[in-house]
Amino acid sequence: MFKSNTPIHDWSNRRVWIIGASEGIGLALAHTLKTRKAAIIVSSRSDARLNEEFSGVAEILPIDVTDTEQVADSMEFLIAGNAMPDTVFWLPALYHPGNLASIEPEATLERLQTNILAAFNLFPRIIKYWQNNPVEDKNYHWTWFSSLAAYRGLPNASDYGASRAAISHLAQSSHIELKASNIDISLISPGFIDTRLTQKNDFKMPLLMTADRAAQLTLEGLKKGRFETHFPMRMSLIFKLLSIIPISLYLKLMGIFR
């Protein structure tokens, strides 16, 4: 199979920054990569949770990704300490189920700020640093976390789905732009993962997966050099099929969920 990125087999020579490491897949990734001898930096808004999980085993860097000043200060801190990462996992996300008629503009704007706009606080800063500080022994690597909800419009998740579609678009465009700079970009598109976000759903979630399993599949995808890793396969293949059928047919099919 065609490899979009340089496969990552060995994590022992990597410094990894996991943004969104206090819960869910980010938390599972941090613990897994620590066992694989990576140097770990963990970030989230919850410094208490980070200290509970990682005190003494990882560099703890609390950060609100929506705060431009905090992001700039964190960059300066890492540069000054000669601790800039060569690998970043971007996982910040907020989610609240609900239809458009019940949407609260202020809460929706907060979710969009975290889910997509905040990416532009940090991503360009990291990219500029990487471009100005090339390495010879490895490729820099940024991994975006999106969702199967990004493939096509779904009911009752308009702001979340829109933000995931934006992340997927950003992953594709940044992969194209940055390949020549020795920077790899990956996209992870999970289905339902058992986290504090999905626990808000009041319906049975098909093929619900643990965060540990999602972290394992993520690293398997990076090991194979894939641009996109999507799972669980039985669900993601259905979503991919739905993404290529004519839009008029798709809307008619989805009408049964109104």
Model confidence band, residue 256 (pLDDT cutoffs 50, 70, 90): confident
What's the rounded Cα separation, in Å, for the pair 146 and 231?
11
Closest CA to 186 of 198, 195, 175, 197: 175
What element of type H or E holds 233? helix 233-244
Q: What would the pLDDT profile of 50-68 be if each residue is shown by its tens digit? A: 999 999 999 999 999 999 9
What's the rounded Cα separation, in Å, for the pair 76 and 258?
49
Q: Is residue 257 pLDDT above 70, yes or no?
A: no
Return the CATH superfamily for domain 15-257. NAD(P)-binding Rossmann-like Domain (3.40.50.720)
User: Is residue 146 a contact partner of residue 187, using CB atoms and an 8 Å limit?
Assistant: yes
Q: What would the pLDDT profile of 213-247 be if each residue is shown by its tens digit? A: 999 999 999 999 999 999 999 999 999 999 999 99
Q: What would the pLDDT profile of 84-135 be if each residue is shown by its tens digit? A: 999 999 999 998 877 888 888 898 999 999 999 999 999 999 999 999 999 9
- Domain edges within the chain: 15-257
Model confidence band, residue 254 (pLDDT cutoffs 50, 70, 90): confident
Q: Which two tokens stand for residue 123?
A: 């991503």
DSSP the chain: ---SS------TT-EEEEES-SSHHHHHHHHHHHHTT-EEEEE-S-HHHHHHHHTTTSEE----TT-HHHHHHHHHHHHHTT---SEEEE---------GGG--HHHHHHHHIIIIITHHHHHHHHHHHHHHS--SSS-EEEEEE--GGGSS--TT-HHHHHHHHHHHHHHHHHHHHHGGGTEEEEEEEE--B-STTGGG--SPPTT-B-HHHHHHHHHHHHHTT-SEEEESHHHHHHHHHHHHS-HHHHHHHHGGG-
What's the rounded Cα separation, in Å, for the pair 170 and 223?
22
The mean pLDDT value of the chain amounts to 93
Quick count: other Cβ atoms within 10 Å of Cβ 58? 21
Q: Tell me, what's the pLDDT at 205?
A: 82
What global pTM score does this model have? 0.93
Q: What would the pLDDT profile of 170-206 be if each residue is shown by its tens digit? A: 999 999 999 999 999 999 999 988 888 777 877 888 8
Q: Is residue 1 pLDDT above 60, yes or no?
A: no
Q: Tell me, what's the pLDDT at 136?
A: 87
